[in-house]
Amino acid sequence: MKTKLLLFSLLAALATQAQTTHMVNWFMGVPNSATTLTINQGDTVKWTWTDNMPHTVTSTGGTETFTSGTLSGAGQSFSHTFNNIGATSYDCDFHPAMDGTITVQAIMGLNDNVEADFSYFPNPAIDVLTITSGSNIDRVEVYDLNGRLLMESSDANPIVKVYLTNFSAGTYLIKATSGNTVKSFPIIKQ
């Protein structure tokens, strides 16, 4: 029993120290609740355009400075890794109502890679699906049941959070890739 508890504690500590990619849908009318996040130092936020309008992701104050420049078209994306502790507000230069805040909290410890299979939770999901692996997750794709690609990310982190707030209730297929390992699994969005 002590061995299991020690192993669980070690894995929990490693999981809390790993970098995470937070995927955010970026579109006209996106609710602030989907764009305001609290993340760990060293995590990456990836905004993906899900409409065809021109948008930017531009910091407007705080501990980080970034800008995507103008991008148009569904599927365009911009990523930024947050290294400074504190809050940074941002918006779209064209549509100031598209805004949010990223709050970065400090983490302590070393990042270690441990080989492990993919895991994901919760399922069913209400707003955020978390996918984890002992090694970096290179790519995550979200498909509807008709096989249409709805969202994709190609960052290399051992934890990926897929924000499902703007997806309709239903069943989706997630495809996660780490090196030569690919796992597909269904999730239910409530």
Q: Which of 50, 72, 105 is the last residue of a domain?
A: 105
Residue 111 belongs to a domain: no
- Mark whether 28 and 90 lie in a shared domain: yes
Under 8 Å between Cβ of 92 and 100: no
Whether residue 13 is contained in a domain is answered as no
Nearest CA to 135 among 112, 155, 161?
112
Tokens of 68: 């995507």
Q: What angle do CA 116, 159, 16 make, to 5 degrees?
A: 90
| Whether residue 31 is found in the same domain as residue 94 | yes
Residue after which a domain boundary falls, among 57, 79, 105:
105
**CATH (domain of 57):** 2.60.40.420
- Kindly state whether residue 10 falls inside one of the protein's structural domains: no
Q: What CATH number does the domain containing 160 carry? A: 2.60.40.3080
What tens-digit pLDDT sequence spans the chain (190 residues)? 444 443 444 444 444 445 889 999 999 999 998 899 999 888 999 999 999 999 999 999 999 999 999 999 999 999 999 988 889 999 999 999 999 999 998 775 444 444 447 889 999 999 999 999 888 899 999 998 888 889 888 888 899 999 998 899 999 999 998 887 888 899 999 9
Q: Is the peptide bond before 122 cis (omega within 30 degrees of 0)?
A: yes
Amino acid at 52: N
d(CA 141, CA 156): 13
Provide the residue range defining the domain that includes 145.
119-189
Is residue 26 located within the same domain as residue 101? yes
Q: Is 3 left (phi over 0), alpha (psi -120 to 50) or beta?
A: alpha
Percent of the chain as helix, strand, coil, to the nearest 5: 10, 50, 40
Same domain, 91 and 126: no
Instruction: Tell me whether residue 67 is in a domain.
Output: yes
One domain, residues 131 and 179: yes
Count the domains in the chain: 2
90 and 148 together in one domain: no
Q: Would you say residue 6 lies in a domain?
A: no
